[in-house]
Amino acid sequence: MEMENHIVDPIMPKHVAIIMDGNGRWAKQKGKIRTFGHKAGVDAVKASVSFAIKNDIAVLTLFAFSSENWNRPVEEVRVLMELFKLVLSSEVKKLHKNKVRLRVIGDISRFDAKLVDKISKAETMTANNTGLTLNIAANYGGKWDIVNAAKTMCAQVQDGKIVLDDISETLFHSYTCANDLPEVDLLIRTGGEQRISNFLLWQLAYAELYFTDVYWPDFSEEVFLQAVTNFSERQRRFGLTGEQVCS
Ligand code: IPE
Ligand code: IPE
Ligand code: MG
């Protein structure tokens, strides 16, 4: 059964992660400055959230700012931070109304106090919502996530709270960001590059990867639908043979 931008499919991904790339090139193509592209990208964020809600996707994780992005021109970083604040101010109430649980993953201690406060208020306000979990990765790095988990775990060994033999993949996972969320089923990257750029590393272990040349500001519910349709046609084998999976 198919409706417009809404597919009822038993193999819909539970957790979709997106590397929202191509804002700068989108703007350049139009003869505008890079930050024009970031501003235009906000509409694509709204479209992706709307698609996720309509299609009962449980978790949507969006890569908004990487730990490496601090090295961009100061003015670009400033605009991105302002934009983050602006979007939080204008969208959180609507998200709350739509039962969205908003969370931010990443080292937010490097953000200014105003932004940290807005993030914390948005998380508290939406904490008990039962609809889509919208995870924003901000000042996030996959290596940071893993090192952070290792550090916390080692501290607990040192304090005698756990012993070396307790360490397992399951335990390690419990110290990583998004430890309470399902593994990523589908990773989408816009903007034509085919790389992970230090996004979720641990959590992507068995994700299906989908790359599109579409620049992020042009991402739409249609493009999301194409990605999800492509995902639903794949056979996920998790190390088994195709025959084992089918039986
Ligand atoms: C992604 O678009 C947004 C962020 C990294 C914040 P880019 O800004 O990387 O756009 P391109 O890749 O330069 O086109
Ligand atoms: C990845 O995009 C980070 C975000 C989308 C936030 P980049 O544009 O920073 O990635 P690279 O540098 O091209 O790998
Ligand atoms: Mg880029």
Kindly give, in sequence order, each residue whose CB lies less than 8 Å from that of residue 73, ignoring residues fewer than 6 positions away.
none
- Decide if pLDDT at 4 tops 80: no
**Residues flanking ligand 2, CB < 6 Å:** 19-21, 63-66, 69, 193, 195, 197
Section 169-176 average pLDDT? 98
* Paired residues of 209 in beta bridges: 187
Model confidence band, residue 28 (pLDDT cutoffs 50, 70, 90): very high
- Decide if pLDDT at 63 tops 50: yes
Model confidence band, residue 209 (pLDDT cutoffs 50, 70, 90): very high
- Whether residue 202 contacts residue 28, with contact meaning beta carbons closer than 8 Å, is answered with no
First-to-final CA distance of the chain: 25
Q: Catalytic site residue 117?
A: no
Question: Model confidence over 81-112: pLDDT tens digits?
Answer: 999 999 999 999 999 999 999 999 999 999 99
Ligand 1, atom 1, lies closest to the CA of 21
CA of 21 to the centre of ligand 1 (A): 5
Largest CA distance in the chain: 59
121: nearest Cα among 97, 108, 103, 134: 103
Give percent of the chain above pLDDT 70.
96
Model confidence band, residue 8 (pLDDT cutoffs 50, 70, 90): low
Section 196-207 average pLDDT? 98
Q: Any idea where the domains of the chain sit in the sequence? A: 11-141+182-246
CA of 33 to the centre of ligand 3 (A): 14
Query: What's the confidence (pLDDT) of residue 6?
Result: 58
Question: Model confidence over 146-157: pLDDT tens digits?
Answer: 999 999 999 999
Q: How far is CA 37 from CA 24, 61, 135, 214, 230, in A?
A: 5, 20, 22, 13, 27
Q: How far is CA 191 from CA 140, 204, 234, in A?
A: 19, 19, 22
Q: Catalytic site residue 159?
A: no
CA of 20 to the centre of ligand 1 (A): 7
**Residues flanking ligand 1, CB < 6 Å:** 20-25, 65, 69, 80, 191, 216
Query: What's the confidence (pLDDT) of residue 2?
Result: 46
Section 115-126 average pLDDT? 98
The average confidence (pLDDT) of the chain is 95
Class of domain 11-141+182-246: alpha beta
